[in-house]
Structure 1
Amino acid sequence: MSVHARAVALVCALVLVGCGDGRAKGEDKDKEKEEASIPVETAIAATGAIDAAYRGTATLEAEDEATVMAKQSGVIEQVLVEEGERVREGQVLARLETDRLRLEVARAKATLDQLEQDFKRYESVYERKLVSREAYERAKFELDGAKAAHDLARLALQEAEIRAPFDGVVSLRHVKVGNTIQSGSPAFRVTRMDRLEAQIFVPERDIHKLASGQPAMLTVDAWPDRRFTGHILRVNPVVDATTGTVKVTVAMAPGQPELRPGMFGRVEIVYDQRQNALLVPKDAVLTEDAQHSVYVVADGRARRRPIVVGYSDADRYEVVDGLQPGDELVVTGQASLRDDSKVEVVNAPAATPVVASGTDTQG
């Protein structure tokens, strides 16, 4: 073969190789252009009712609770009740030793009897003008003083019995038999269990939403599946300048014996309700710089869409602008998405619509 022929053959071989490489590179580029689908879970936007409520925490307190003080000093002779026992107004809870007090009453009574007899004689002779008016009035003053002393001695004897101030339950006993107690020292605590209150402190910006009589709900850790009822009893008219809050007192409804003073609870006060609101799961909503958005799935792609939200509860948002009922929203997998990403739905959203009831939560 001549030199010219060999040169022509080499050029053809290089051209063929170049064409082959070009086809291979083109195929690689086509493969790179193939977009992988991102697996996501979705839910359907649906209409339903949502309540608006203010939520806070509080410790239950008894409306009526009193520490019963000893009115006399002495030694405890009898303790007649124990903690947890129900008592009636005026019932004797404990007695002090009364021997000395009884003697004081007897002495005061003897003095009173003597002065009454003396005064009767003075009255008789005064009417006949045999004694001066000054002597008569002195006898009368002494008699009045003896009556007061007798009344005080009887009162001291009565106060040796420690009594319940109202119907309730003995929630704490401070004394034991044989203890020496001083006047003004605590002996018992009596609590009225059927009138319980919860106090929450509401920011002043929200106080216009609340008013006396509005219904309230309470949940406590001891009964997690129960919702206890009540209502706003009063709203304090003064804003605390230190905290910027207003004290709101919630009265629990009677007939809920599971509730006890001292329980920690979560209070929910309903102040508005919207029917036929468009509701979406909270998991579907992305929040950046106070702006809300969702990924809407259509034709196998997820497109990011800004929305305006209204009320919310523990699980859902109300959407007031940006969506339509029936829109399919990504609830799991948003972290891997960009606008117009190709997606693969791995659940059945039509079978799991948004629950159509709930309560807006603020606070």
Structure 2
Amino acid sequence: MKTLHLFPLFIAALAASIALQACQHTDRVKAIPNSDTIPVALLSLQNSSSTVAFEATGTFTTDDETLLSFKSGGVIEKIYVREGDAVRSGQLLARVHMDEVDARASQVGLAVEKAQRDYDRVNQLYRDSVSTLEQLQNAQTALRVAQQDVKSIRFNKQYSEIRATSSGYVLARLAQEGQVVGPGTPVFQINGANEGNWELKVGMSDRQWAATQVGDTAVVEADALGDGGFKAVVSRKAEGLDPNTGTFSVFLRLLGKPQRKLAAGIFATAKLQARENTASGWQIPYESLLDGNGKEGYVFVTNDNRVAKRVKITLGPISADEVTVLSGLEGAKALVVSGSPYLVDGAPIRVLKQK
């Protein structure tokens, strides 16, 4: 009988225990979202216009760098300069053996004498009505051809020597004495360094090349120029891809003559500032960008400071620490700048800092 009286008490105690556990479970479920809330830092978004600016690297050269060669070719008799030698405009650099050229000139001279005799004889016969007008005309044409050969051999003889086209330096000597070279085979590579025609040749991507215009300003930095930058301006742009580097070449002319001596091939960095091109959009920190591919990417934004939303954006110019967003942030109030790697679309957030 005592057992029967205790049974209702056991049932009541069990029910109370279940209710208490249910309440504790409910409180724990409510607490889970709070424990999964991601702390983030926000940046208030404001549309603005930014000037296109970026860095490019390249090497110094001159705008009159050229390859010199013999027009007619032959055996090189004498080379008067070496790599690195300073040269002045018109200076004799090399010549070929003239025996063959002189022999050819003698042959042409003899051909002119024979053509002249033939013409005189036919002309006299024509006056005596012995030869025809056609024979006279043929003799006259042969004489003129021989005379033109004389002009040609004189021209070729003149270019049996190589002379400097400008005052500068020998960058490379591509042949040696006694070597047989054909017409147009490069023998020297020279530049006009002494004329002060230095320029910086930099390689750019297609996006950077399109954003750069002739006349844009830049600051050039190089160890050879010393501390600080040297002002330059974009003087010309290549209209095709350089197959050796896979980039588009842009040439920057230095404004003023450097105090220190430069040499072809010296490495330098140029910080370019577009003169007219501007991109309207948002400036966001580079670290806030997710899954960027150069043209598109993703970021997290929030409108209520409570829930993060993942949005797709279109990218503009990219610098060392900032990215220009052209579209995708319309209507967004704040950007998540830290904590993004831990977020998913719709995740709850807790704002630690907002700028």
TM range, normalised to the smaller chain? 0.5 to 0.7
Cα pair 1:60 1:196 within 8 Å, conserved: yes
* Correspondence for 2:284: 280
For 2:60 and 2:283, locate their aligned partners in 1 and report how far apart those are by CA, in whole Å.
34
**Cα displacement (A) at 1:27:** 1.0
**Contact persistence 1:83–1:171 (CA under 8 A):** yes
- For structure 1, which runs of at least 5 residues remain unmatched after alignment? 116-141, 241-246, 351-363
Secondary structure in structure 1 of the residue aligned to 2:35: coil
| Alignment partner, residue 294 of structure 1 | 300
Whole-Å separation in 1 of the counterparts to 2:349 and 2:88: 74
Aligned amino acid, residue 343 of structure 2? S
Aligned CA distance change for structure 1 residues 155 and 279 (closer, same or farther; 3 Å):
closer
1:44 alignment partner in structure 2: 43
Number of the residue aligned with 1:134: none
Residue of structure 2 in register with 1:132 after alignment? none
Q: Deviation at 1:267? A: 9.1
2:23 equivalent to 1:19: no
One-letter code aligned to 2:285: P
Q: Distance in 1 between matches of 2:60 and 2:268?
A: 6
Show CA shifts across 1:193-220 (max 9, x none). Answer: 52455686858xx96x765434467899
Q: Is the 8 A contact 2:173 2:187 kept in 1?
A: yes
- Where does residue 93 of structure 2 map in the other structure? 93
- Write the distance in 1 (CA, Å) between the matches of 2:314 and 2:159: 65
CA distance in structure 2 between the partners assigned to 1:287 and 1:344 by the alignment: 23
Structure 1 residue 341 displacement after superposition:
0.9
> Aligned partners of 2:310 and 2:83: how far apart in 1?
63
> Would you say 1:303 and 2:308 are equivalent positions?
yes
Compared CA separation, residues 36 and 196, structure 1 to 2 (3 A): closer
Determine the C-alpha separation between the residues in 2 that align with 1:285 and 1:334. Answer: 10
The percent of aligned pairs where both chains have the same amino acid is: 16
- Sort the Cα spacing of 1:89 and 1:202 in 2 relative to 1 into closer, same or farther, 3 A: same
Tell me, in whole angstroms, the C-alpha distance in 1 between the residues paired with 2:177 and 2:41: 70
TM-score (norm 1): 0.57
CA 1:330/1:249 → structure 2, altered by over 3 Å: closer, same or farther? Answer: closer
State the Cα deviation string for residues 259-299 of structure 1 (Å, max 9, x = none).
Answer: 84697989967242479x753224335579x6865233866
Specify the alignment match of 1:354 in structure 2. none
Is the alpha carbon distance of 1:258 and 1:42 closer, same or farther for their aligned partners in structure 2, counting shifts above 3 Å?
A: farther
Within 5 Å, give how 1:148-159 maps onto structure 2. Answer: 159=159
Judge conservation of contact 2:310–2:345 (CA < 8 Å) in 1: no
CA-based RMSD of the aligned residues comes to: 5.5
Aligned to 1:253: 253
**Mapped pair 1:190 → 2:193:** no
Cα offsets for 1:63-95 (capped at 9, x unmatched) = 433321124555434322222333222111124
Distance 1:10 1:269 in 2: 89
**Is the contact between residue 295 and residue 329 of structure 1 (CA under 8 Å) also seen in structure 2?**
yes
1:23 Cα deviation from its structure 2 partner: 0.5
* Correspondences of 1:335-354 after superposition (within 5 Å): 335-339=342-346, 341-343=348-350, 345=352
2:234 maps to a residue whose letter is H
| Superposition TM-score, scaled by structure 2 size | 0.58
Q: Classify 1:100/1:308 alpha carbon distance in 2 versus 1 (closer, same or farther; 3 Å).
A: closer
Aligned-partner Cα distance in 2 for 1:71–1:198: 33
* Contiguous gaps of at least 5 residues in structure 2: 114-142, 242-246
Q: CA deviation at 1:189?
A: 1.9
Aligned to 1:83: 83
